[in-house]
Amino acid sequence: MDIVKQIESGRVSVGIEFGSTRIKAVMVDENFSPVASGTHDWQNRLENGIWTYTQEDITLGLQDAYKSLADNVREKYGIQITSIASIGISAMMHGYLPFDSEGKLLAGFRTWRNTMTEEAAKALTEAFGFNIPQRWSIAHLYQAILSGEAHVPHISFFTTLAGYVHWQLTGEKVLGIGDASGMFPIDPETKDYDKSMLAKFSELVKDKGFGWDIADILPKIVPAGESAGTLTQEGARLLDPTGTLKAGSVVCPPEGDAGTGMVATNSIAPRTGNVSAGTSIFAMAVLEKNLSKVHEEIDIVTTPCGDPVAMVHCNNCTTDLDAWVRMFGSLLGTFGVDVPKSEIYDKLYSSALSAPADCGGLVSCNYFSGEHVTGFTKGRPMLIRTPESQFDISTLMRSLIYSCMGTLKIGMDILLGEEKVELDKLLAHGGLFKAPVVGQRFLASALNVPVAVMESAGEGGAWGIALLAAFAVREDKSEGLADFLDKKVFSKFASSVMQPDKADSEGFAKYMEGFKAGLKVQRTAVEVI
C-alpha cells in the first residue's frame, strides 16, 4: 500500500535507458528499489554502410517502453501513473546526431558501432595527445569535415542519443559529464570540456570557414545531482501520448550507459571498477593517477561526478552468442517443445561449466561488427576447430562465452599489466551475468580480479539512471553521489563475490592463444567473404 501511495502522489523516480537491442524503463520507490519496469525491443539497421536508428525508431521506442512501464504499474498496483518526481534518460554513449538551427537532423544517426572514422580518430589523437576512439562524437564530426560532407556548415548543435531524447523532453541541450566525456575530452580540474583541445580543434578547421565554433555546438555540461530541466507539456505528450502523465517532473542530466553502469554497480570511487556486458562489453576502472602514456585501446572518460576513468570498450559481446541460443531454441521448436527463453539460456550457460577449461581446442570469434581494440572495420562471426577439437554443446557454449571476453582481456592486460592499475574488485552487470555463476566465474578467471554481482545486476543501467534521477531530488543537497550510493542505496542490496579460479585462469590463457591466432583468420574472412 505504501508503494501505491508513492506512485499516486508522484514520489517515485523513473529511469529510461536506450540500449543496443532493448529500451528499458525502471521505476524506483523512495527506498530506491525497483517497483515496476517496462521494455521495448529494437535493433539497429545497416543503411548505406552505416549502423543507425531512425528518429521514428527512437520516438516509438521511447513511447512503447514508457507504455510498457505504465501497463506494468496498472497490472501490479491497479493504478495509473499521473506524475513522477524525477526522470532520467540514458543511452549508448558516443555516436553522432547533428542538427541545424531549426532542430532538423542533418545526417542519419551514426551509432557507436560504426568504424568509419579511422582517419579522423588518428588525426585528433595526434593533435590532442589524447586517445580519441573512432566511436567518439568528435571523431564523427571531424571525419564528416575531412570527407567534405555537405551538412557540416549548417550544424548548430550536435549531441548523443541520450542528449537528443532529453532535449525532446525538456527543451534543454545539455549532457551529464560522463556522457559528455565520450563526445569530447574533459578537463578533470574544471569538470568541463578541455579548453586547450577545443582551441586545437578550432585551429584544425579554421580554414574551412564554418559559421560555428566547436565550443558553441557542444551540449552544456550539467553536474550529477542538479536539475537539467523539467518535463515540458510537449515532452509529457511525447512520452505519454495518452495525456495521462503531467508535466513538471525534474529531469536529471542525461548520461551514457557507461556512467549509469558505474552507478548501478556503485563503482565511482578510485580502485573500483565495473564490467557491463550486453551487445557490447566494456570495463571501467576509476583511476588513482593518470596513465603513463596514450593507448589506442583505452579511452579516458569520467564518472558522473567528473573523475577520470580508464575504459576498455569492445564493440562485440553477446550478439553471436545470442544467435546460437536462438538457433537452439528454434531447434526445440521444430520438435514441438516450448521452453522459455530464460530457461534455455540458463541451461546452456550452466552446461559450459562441465567443459574443458581451455575449450578443448575450440575457438570462437564473436566479431559481428568492427572492433577498434584489435583493428577491425568489419566482423565475420566464426567458429574454428581442428579435427582433434572437442565439439559438443558444453564446449561450444564455453567457447562462445569466452569469446565475449576475449577482446576485453586484450585491452585489460594493458591496463592491469602494463599500466599496473590496481582494482580491489570489479562489479559486473548486464545480460551476460543474468544466468547465475557462469559469466561471473569466467570473467574473474579471465581477468584475475575478484568479480562481484549484485542482486540488482539484471536491472542494469536503467536502474542506474533512475538512481541519478532520484539523486537530483534528494532532500540533502550537500550530500555527494558517493555517500548517497553508499549509505542510501547499496547498504540495502546483497552481492556475491567470486575469486579467480586457478584452473579456469590457466584454461582461459590457453584459449586466448587460439583466439589471438584466430584473428589472422578473421582478417582473411573480412577480406574475402
**What percent of the chain is modeled with pLDDT above 70?**
99
The predicted pLDDT at position 470 comes to 97
What confidence tier does 265 reach under pLDDT thresholds 50, 70, 90? confident
- Is 401 part of any domain? yes
Rounded mean pLDDT, 383-391: 95
β-pair partners for 110: 96
Exposure b/e, 453-485, CB count within 10 A at least 16 = b: bbebbebbbbbbbbbbbbbbbeeeeeeebeebb
Query: Using CA atoms in the order 436, 437, 438, 440, what is the torsion angle rounded to 10 degrees?
Result: 110
**What percent of the chain is modeled with pLDDT above 90?**
87
The predicted pLDDT at position 372 comes to 86
The predicted pLDDT at position 1 comes to 75
- Is 390 part of any domain? yes
Mean pLDDT of the chain: 95
Condensed to tens digits (0 to 9), the pLDDT of residues 55-94 reads 999 999 999 999 999 999 999 999 999 999 999 999 999 9
In 413-501, which ranges are continuous DSSP H helix? 438-447, 460-472, 481-483
- Is 44 part of any domain? no
- Is 216 part of any domain? no
Contacts for 330 with CB less than 8 Å, ≥ 6 apart: none
What confidence tier does 431 reach under pLDDT thresholds 50, 70, 90? confident
Question: Domain range for residue 369?
Answer: 319-406+503-528
Backbone angles phi, psi at 26, to 5 degrees: -130, 135
Of 278 and 61, which is predicted with more confidence?
61
Nearest to 86 by CA among 169, 160, 5: 169
- Is 456 part of any domain? no
Report, in this order, helix, strand and coil percent for the chain, each rounded to 5.
45, 20, 40
Rounded mean pLDDT, 278-301: 92
What confidence tier does 458 reach under pLDDT thresholds 50, 70, 90? low
CB atoms within 10 A of CB 438: 22
124-128, 139-143, 176-180, 296-300 — which is least confidently predicted?
Answer: 296-300
Question: Can you tell me the distance from the alpha carbon of 380 to that of 524, in angstroms, rounded to the nearest whole number?
Answer: 10
Q: What are the strands, taking DSSP E only, across 79-219?
A: 86-91, 97-99, 157-159, 174-175, 186-187, 192-193
Query: Which run of H or E residues covers position 214?
Result: helix 214-217
Domain count, the chain: 1
Is residue 31 scored above 70 in pLDDT? yes
- Is 343 part of any domain? yes
Is residue 457 scored above 80 in pLDDT? no
Query: Using CA atoms in the order 280, 89, 240, 169, what is the torsion angle rounded to 10 degrees?
Result: -130
Measured CA to CA in angstroms, residue 378 lies from 142, 220, 332, 371, 410 at distances of 21, 34, 32, 7, 18
- Is 225 part of any domain? no
